[in-house]
Amino acid sequence: MTLARGFPPVCRADARVLVLGSLPGAASLARLEYYGHPRNAFWPLMGVLVGASPELPYAERCERLRDARVALWDVCALARRPGSLDAAIEVASVVPNDFRAFFAAHPALRCVFFNGAKAAGLYRRLVLPGLSPEAAALEQRVMPSTSPAHAGRSLEAKQLAWQALVDVT
Protein backbone atom coordinates (compact mmCIF):
# COMPACT_ATOMS: atom_id res chain seq x y z
CA MET A 1 0.00 0.00 0.00
CA THR A 2 1.35 3.40 -0.96
CA LEU A 3 1.47 6.48 1.19
CA ALA A 4 -1.30 9.04 0.77
CA ARG A 5 0.02 12.57 0.31
CA GLY A 6 -1.84 15.56 1.72
CA PHE A 7 -2.44 18.92 0.09
CA PRO A 8 -0.68 22.24 0.58
CA PRO A 9 -2.37 24.60 3.04
CA VAL A 10 -5.14 26.96 2.02
CA CYS A 11 -4.14 30.16 3.76
CA ARG A 12 -2.81 33.65 3.64
CA ALA A 13 -0.30 35.31 5.94
CA ASP A 14 -2.87 37.04 8.18
CA ALA A 15 -4.86 33.90 9.04
CA ARG A 16 -6.22 33.91 12.59
CA VAL A 17 -7.62 30.36 12.72
CA LEU A 18 -6.13 27.10 11.47
CA VAL A 19 -8.53 24.22 10.78
CA LEU A 20 -6.72 20.89 10.79
CA GLY A 21 -7.97 17.59 9.49
CA SER A 22 -5.98 14.38 9.62
CA LEU A 23 -5.38 13.37 5.97
CA PRO A 24 -7.52 13.67 2.82
CA GLY A 25 -9.73 10.66 2.17
CA ALA A 26 -10.05 8.82 -1.13
CA ALA A 27 -12.76 11.13 -2.52
CA SER A 28 -10.76 14.23 -1.63
CA LEU A 29 -7.58 12.80 -3.14
CA ALA A 30 -9.44 11.89 -6.33
CA ARG A 31 -10.89 15.40 -6.63
CA LEU A 32 -7.72 17.15 -5.36
CA GLU A 33 -9.90 19.11 -2.94
CA TYR A 34 -10.11 19.35 0.82
CA TYR A 35 -13.31 17.68 2.06
CA GLY A 36 -14.19 16.41 -1.40
CA HIS A 37 -16.64 13.71 -0.30
CA PRO A 38 -20.12 14.93 -1.28
CA ARG A 39 -21.57 13.98 2.12
CA ASN A 40 -18.87 15.67 4.19
CA ALA A 41 -20.42 18.54 6.15
CA PHE A 42 -17.36 20.80 6.04
CA TRP A 43 -18.33 22.92 3.03
CA PRO A 44 -22.01 23.19 3.98
CA LEU A 45 -20.89 24.42 7.41
CA MET A 46 -18.39 26.86 5.91
CA GLY A 47 -21.14 28.07 3.58
CA VAL A 48 -23.23 29.11 6.56
CA LEU A 49 -20.32 30.45 8.61
CA VAL A 50 -18.14 32.28 6.06
CA GLY A 51 -19.96 32.09 2.73
CA ALA A 52 -17.85 29.23 1.34
CA SER A 53 -20.86 27.29 0.08
CA PRO A 54 -20.42 23.90 -1.64
CA GLU A 55 -22.29 25.30 -4.65
CA LEU A 56 -19.34 27.60 -5.37
CA PRO A 57 -16.34 26.41 -7.39
CA TYR A 58 -13.63 24.98 -5.15
CA ALA A 59 -11.19 27.83 -5.81
CA GLU A 60 -13.81 30.37 -4.75
CA ARG A 61 -14.62 28.41 -1.58
CA CYS A 62 -10.94 28.47 -0.69
CA GLU A 63 -10.79 32.21 -1.37
CA ARG A 64 -13.76 32.78 0.95
CA LEU A 65 -11.89 30.91 3.70
CA ARG A 66 -8.81 33.05 3.13
CA ASP A 67 -10.91 36.23 3.20
CA ALA A 68 -12.37 35.11 6.53
CA ARG A 69 -8.78 34.63 7.80
CA VAL A 70 -9.28 30.87 8.12
CA ALA A 71 -6.43 28.57 7.12
CA LEU A 72 -7.03 24.94 6.18
CA TRP A 73 -4.52 22.10 6.34
CA ASP A 74 -3.98 18.56 7.63
CA VAL A 75 -1.76 17.16 10.34
CA CYS A 76 -0.33 14.52 7.99
CA ALA A 77 1.84 15.35 5.02
CA LEU A 78 2.09 11.62 4.28
CA ALA A 79 0.59 8.52 5.84
CA ARG A 80 -0.53 5.03 5.03
CA ARG A 81 -4.27 4.50 5.35
CA PRO A 82 -6.31 1.73 3.81
CA GLY A 83 -9.64 3.35 2.89
CA SER A 84 -10.76 6.75 4.12
CA LEU A 85 -11.50 6.29 7.82
CA ASP A 86 -9.30 8.24 10.21
CA ALA A 87 -9.17 5.20 12.48
CA ALA A 88 -7.31 3.32 9.71
CA ILE A 89 -4.37 5.77 9.60
CA GLU A 90 -1.23 3.82 10.44
CA VAL A 91 0.33 6.15 13.00
CA ALA A 92 3.82 4.68 12.54
CA SER A 93 3.70 5.76 8.87
CA VAL A 94 2.71 9.39 9.53
CA VAL A 95 4.99 12.17 8.38
CA PRO A 96 3.54 15.37 9.86
CA ASN A 97 3.45 18.66 8.00
CA ASP A 98 6.04 21.31 8.90
CA PHE A 99 4.15 23.20 11.56
CA ARG A 100 7.20 25.02 12.94
CA ALA A 101 7.60 26.79 9.59
CA PHE A 102 3.84 27.28 9.20
CA PHE A 103 3.40 28.93 12.58
CA ALA A 104 6.48 31.11 12.03
CA ALA A 105 4.99 32.32 8.72
CA HIS A 106 1.53 32.96 10.24
CA PRO A 107 2.09 35.01 13.40
CA ALA A 108 -1.53 36.24 13.58
CA LEU A 109 -2.87 32.73 14.32
CA ARG A 110 -4.87 32.62 17.53
CA CYS A 111 -6.48 29.19 17.56
CA VAL A 112 -6.20 25.70 16.08
CA PHE A 113 -9.50 23.95 15.35
CA PHE A 114 -9.29 20.20 14.89
CA ASN A 115 -11.82 18.61 12.56
CA GLY A 116 -12.36 15.60 14.79
CA ALA A 117 -10.54 13.79 17.56
CA LYS A 118 -8.11 11.88 15.31
CA ALA A 119 -6.58 15.10 13.97
CA ALA A 120 -6.24 16.40 17.54
CA GLY A 121 -4.63 13.18 18.73
CA LEU A 122 -2.12 13.04 15.88
CA TYR A 123 -1.23 16.70 16.39
CA ARG A 124 -0.73 16.33 20.13
CA ARG A 125 1.33 13.18 19.72
CA LEU A 126 3.43 14.00 16.66
CA VAL A 127 3.53 17.80 16.33
CA LEU A 128 3.05 19.52 19.67
CA PRO A 129 6.26 18.25 21.33
CA GLY A 130 8.39 19.85 18.57
CA LEU A 131 6.77 23.29 18.54
CA SER A 132 8.10 26.53 19.92
CA PRO A 133 6.57 27.56 23.27
CA GLU A 134 4.55 30.28 21.50
CA ALA A 135 3.09 27.91 18.93
CA ALA A 136 2.45 25.22 21.54
CA ALA A 137 0.50 27.77 23.60
CA LEU A 138 -2.04 28.50 20.84
CA GLU A 139 -5.58 27.75 21.90
CA GLN A 140 -6.77 24.37 20.65
CA ARG A 141 -10.38 23.27 20.10
CA VAL A 142 -11.54 19.81 19.11
CA MET A 143 -14.60 20.17 16.93
CA PRO A 144 -17.12 17.53 15.91
CA SER A 145 -15.88 15.77 12.80
CA THR A 146 -17.54 16.81 9.56
CA SER A 147 -16.96 13.35 8.08
CA PRO A 148 -20.00 11.41 6.87
CA ALA A 149 -18.68 8.53 9.03
CA HIS A 150 -19.56 10.64 12.09
CA ALA A 151 -23.30 11.00 11.69
CA GLY A 152 -24.02 10.92 15.43
CA ARG A 153 -24.61 14.67 15.46
CA SER A 154 -27.01 16.55 13.25
CA LEU A 155 -25.78 19.21 10.87
CA GLU A 156 -27.46 21.79 13.11
CA ALA A 157 -25.57 20.54 16.19
CA LYS A 158 -22.29 20.60 14.28
CA GLN A 159 -23.06 24.11 13.06
CA LEU A 160 -23.67 25.28 16.61
CA ALA A 161 -20.28 23.91 17.69
CA TRP A 162 -18.42 25.19 14.63
CA GLN A 163 -19.86 28.70 15.18
CA ALA A 164 -16.90 29.16 17.52
CA LEU A 165 -14.70 29.49 14.42
CA VAL A 166 -16.42 32.75 13.47
CA ASP A 167 -16.20 34.00 17.05
CA VAL A 168 -12.39 33.65 16.98
CA THR A 169 -11.80 35.24 13.59
Write out the catalytic residue numbers.
40
**What contacts 47, CB < 8 A, 6 or more positions away?**
53, 54, 55, 56
Q: Could you give the C-alpha distances from 141 to 74, 164, 169, in angstroms and in order? A: 15, 9, 14
To which H or E segment does residue 115 belong? strand 111-115
Residue among 67, 76, 112, 119 at smallest CA distance from 95:
76
